[in-house]
Structure 1
Amino acid sequence: MLRRVLTLVVALALLVGLALGGLYLPMPYIVATPGVTVNTVGEFEDGPVIRIEGAESYEHDGALSMVTIQYAGGPQRRLSTLEVLTSWLSPSNAVMPEELLFPADRTPEEVSERQTVQMNDSQTDATAAALGQLGIAYEAVPVVADAVEGMPADGLVEPGDVIVEIDGEPVPTDTGEGGGERSVGSAAVVDTVSARDPGDVVEMVLDRDGETVEVEITTTEGEDGTAAVGILIADDTDFPIDVEISVGDIGGPSAGMMFALGIMDRLSEESLTGGARVAGSGTISADGQVGGISGIPQKMVSAQRDGAEYFLVAADSCDQVADSAAYGELEVARVETLDDAVAALETIRTGEGELPRCEGLE
């Protein structure tokens, strides 16, 4: 009998030990938590977030804040089962598989480098969108960054090629008076190609290191159902003013909309916010299209903790709003374009009209 009791005690001790040990096993998950909030028309790390040279700039009350997410975990420091379970129970956190942020085919260093590139690109696009919205002319020359492997343009274009003409028509590169009223540069190339029917042939004239190269590319159907050729394009921009944006080592493209609004506020005699504290998140394209991003629930909590009264959300991200612990604490406005965002700020500033809401949300 004594032997059986001892065996049972040892077995229970082992089970408890295994259970406790299991709580500290590393897990392939990451946890997203509310991150820092940066007022784009304020200061960050002892200096203004947005510096402008070559034009009169202004300072106003209020805030136009970008919001971030902090991530814990990943290949270099995996979370324990206990940490994952604790985070899963928190209404402000989100637990997700680590491959969503760290794909198996990329190293953590490559992920960080990509986020830095996305941040830099978003700042350039934000400047273009802001100047276009303000009617300030600038030049954008479309340059081939790469061709998608297996797509029609693969082998026909090379990185560095400047796209000069499409189907005999010069690609517009200067926004001219009232800047931004027509698509230019890469946006003009995309608009022209996507207006074709899949299967149509597109003729392009390229400037390749000073030599003229003519190519014919048969379009195919892209992911969105429109014609595509598989060219990745970047704009070589020439702005009439210098805009420098400093946010430390924060990466990613999701602050684009707020950067554009911050630039506009610094270039406008009248405050865009009227002193209100506004936060938001969404990508921006050079022609002012606002794109959706992930992490809205955590970003809304960041904004609410920082004292924001309003939150601008991309229409494509509306389905995330109700999942936030800060839902009901902020007035949320849905935007699809930079023009929508400016209109929402006018409503906030004047108190006239109603903010555009996400469908199904009160």
Structure 2
Amino acid sequence: MSEEQLYANRRRSTGTRGFSWILALVFVLLGISFFVPTNYYVSRPGSAIELGPMIQVEGGKKDDTGSFMLTTVRMGEANLLWYWYAKMAQDVELLPKELVVGKGEDSEDFIRREQAVMDNSQKIAEAVAFRLAGFEVKIEKQGVWVMGTLEGFPAHKALQIGDVITYVDEVRTSEAKDLLTALSTKKAGDQVEITYTRDGQEAKTMLTLEPLPESKSVGIGVRPDNKQEIIIPKEVTIASQGIGGPSAGLMMTLEIYDQLNTETDLTKGYKIAGTGTISLDGKVGRIGGINQKVIAADKAGAEIFFAPQDTPDTSSNYEEALATAKRIGTSMKVVPIKTVEEAITYLNGQKPKST
């Protein structure tokens, strides 16, 4: 072998070893990035899930030719790898941790709150659907729902997300405004007896009132919501499969209403996805991650997508959804919705899909 050939072989061998070292370093850095936390959560497109198999209404029909689907996003704490991926990917979003979990909260608190909100959304969906179908619905106020606690305040150690405050010093607190009224005459340093329920069990605790941040009033440091019992004339079973949050409210309402409406097929044979919170008056509210939900619906083959028209300008959920639909080139029709009645009217006006 000539001297030139020996030199060329040696150079190739050196280059190969150098490339191997670089490759090994890349893999090491990637491995390390899995364990490096950031102060962000990452959300990305989730899935579109048919509601028919999830929801069962007593005596309801399930012979639709189409389907209603809820849409989800996937969310979790972002390690360094996910952080840099989200910086480069168009449909992956970084959310500052304090926007997802409150100060002093952790992922378990977030999951507990999301599940509590989902439970409430289910009950409201039942009430709205039954009322629209002509049934009588009774609503009984149960107390003040704890949706979060403030770090450094007495409630942070004593109460949990999902607890329901029923009395303050033996004065009934049927809703959030009752809690505010009960504390309005108190001053910092006063103690109050809080009666609450957790997992169906009643308990009591003594808490000392403290000045609330950016407020002239005092409190125990909770983020309150109203907890109510909704009484409907038929049993509804919803297997939400661990899905949390309030954004499935609209689509659950439509599925329940459709099962109650035994004479017609509201889907008309279409695959219908969408998103939006639901309130007791039937209004549809804004949600997060609308662009990611449009992508999830498109991948699932949805033909219609209901999006909240929460504002009259370009910042509305509908306009965001429409922009994403145009960008990804989907044939799915994005429909603006302000109320459940609008969604029902739209579907009633569609011709049955030809097969």
Is the CA contact 1:279–1:312 (under 8 Å) kept in the aligned structure 2?
yes
Counterpart in the other structure of 1:318: 318
Residue by residue over 1:92-124, the C-alpha shift from the partner in whole angstroms, topping out at 9 and shown as x without a partner, is 322222332233331211111111111111110
The structural deviation recorded for 1:311 is 0.4
The structural deviation recorded for 1:159 is 8.1
Verify: 1:280 aligned to 2:274, yes or no: yes
Alignment partners' CA distance in 2, 1:104 and 1:319: 32
Counterpart in the other structure of 1:39: 50
Residue by residue over 1:256-285, the C-alpha shift from the partner in whole angstroms, topping out at 9 and shown as x without a partner, is 110000001111221111001110000111
TM-score of the aligned structures, taking structure 1 as reference length: 0.63
The structural deviation recorded for 1:233 is 2.7
| SS state at 1:127 partner | helix
- Kindly report which structure 2 residues correspond to 1:45-124, keeping only aligned pairs within 5 A, or say none: 49-53=54-58, 55-72=59-76, 74=77, 78-80=78-80, 82-124=81-123
- Unaligned runs of 5+ residues in structure 1 are 1-12, 44-48, 150-154, 164-185, 191-229, 352-362
Counterpart in the other structure of 2:260: 267
| SS state at 1:28 partner | strand
| SS state at 1:240 partner | coil
Is the CA contact 1:276–1:349 (under 8 Å) kept in the aligned structure 2?
no
TM-score of the aligned structures, taking structure 2 as reference length: 0.64
Give the alignment partner of residue 335 of structure 2, picking from 333, 349, 362.
333
Alignment partners' CA distance in 2, 1:305 and 1:158: 54
| SS state at 2:253 partner | helix
- Kindly report which structure 2 residues correspond to 1:146-185, keeping only aligned pairs within 5 A, or say none: 161-162=173-174
Residue by residue over 1:320-345, the C-alpha shift from the partner in whole angstroms, topping out at 9 and shown as x without a partner, is 22246546542111111110111122
| SS state at 1:91 partner | coil
Q: Relative to structure 1, is the Cα distance of residues 349 and 121 closer, same or farther in structure 2, using a 3 angstrom cutoff? A: farther
Is the CA contact 2:269–2:352 (under 8 Å) kept in the aligned structure 1?
no
Alignment partners' CA distance in 1, 2:134 and 2:347: 18
The structural deviation recorded for 1:232 is 4.0
- Max Rg structure: 2
Is the CA contact 1:282–1:313 (under 8 Å) kept in the aligned structure 2?
yes
Counterpart in the other structure of 1:233: 226
The structural deviation recorded for 1:37 is 1.6
Counterpart in the other structure of 1:175: none
Return the letter of the residue paired with 2:46.
Answer: G
Alignment partners' CA distance in 1, 2:292 and 2:329: 11
Residue by residue over 1:130-160, the C-alpha shift from the partner in whole angstroms, topping out at 9 and shown as x without a partner, is 01111111211233326999xxxxx979786
The structural deviation recorded for 1:161 is 4.1
Give the alignment partner of residue 307 of structure 1, picking from 301, 313, 333.
301
RMSD: 3.8
Counterpart in the other structure of 1:174: none
- Unaligned runs of 5+ residues in structure 2 are 1-20, 150-166, 179-222, 311-316
Alignment partners' CA distance in 1, 2:37 and 2:105: 20
Return the letter of the residue paired with 2:72.
Answer: T
Q: What count of residue pairs does the alignment treat as equivalent?
A: 264
Alignment partners' CA distance in 1, 2:172 and 2:275: 32
| SS state at 2:350 partner | helix
- Kindly report which structure 2 residues correspond to 1:210-229, keeping only aligned pairs within 5 A, or say none: none
Q: Relative to structure 1, is the Cα distance of residues 135 and 60 closer, same or farther in structure 2, using a 3 angstrom cutoff? A: same
Residue by residue over 1:285-322, the C-alpha shift from the partner in whole angstroms, topping out at 9 and shown as x without a partner, is 12211111000000000000000011001112224222
Alignment partners' CA distance in 2, 1:121 and 1:345: 26
| SS state at 1:273 partner | coil
Q: Relative to structure 1, is the Cα distance of residues 253 and 158 closer, same or farther in structure 2, using a 3 angstrom cutoff? A: farther
Counterpart in the other structure of 1:347: 349
